[in-house]
Amino acid sequence: MKWDNQRKEVVSEANKILGMIERNFTDRSKETILPKSLVRPHLDYCSQIWNPHYVKDIKLIEGVQRRATKLAESVKDLHYDERLKILG
């Protein structure tokens, strides 16, 4: 029994929420984007993705995080590692 479908569904939902943020928020400052109150609950609550063991699952979560860090206007042109350092 594998959890692949649930993991993909959770990541898909998180990406949908990031898309909604991207379309509807005009202020994309660090202070606006950083509060994780919209995306993180979908990744944490009753989900097998909160503690990934496989590289493929880690890459799924990293993809969501990569996209989320690109939303902040002040750091969107920087490399991913630099965005993570700046945004914490």
What DSSP string describes the chain? Answer: ---HHHHHHHHHHHHHHHHHHHHH-S---HHHH--TTTTHHHHHTT-GGGS--SHHHHHHHHHHHHHHHHTSGGGTTS-HHHHHHHH-
> Would you say 65 and 72 are in contact if contact means Cβ atoms under 8 Å apart?
no
Tell me the per-residue pLDDT of 9-63, one tens digit each, with 9 for 90 and over.
Answer: 888 888 898 888 888 887 777 777 665 567 777 777 666 566 677 788 888 888 8
Give the residue extent of every domain in the chain. 4-87
Assessment of whether the complete model's pTM goes beyond 0.85: no
- Please give the structure tokens belonging to residue 44: 């944490």
- Please give the structure tokens belonging to residue 63: 């993809």
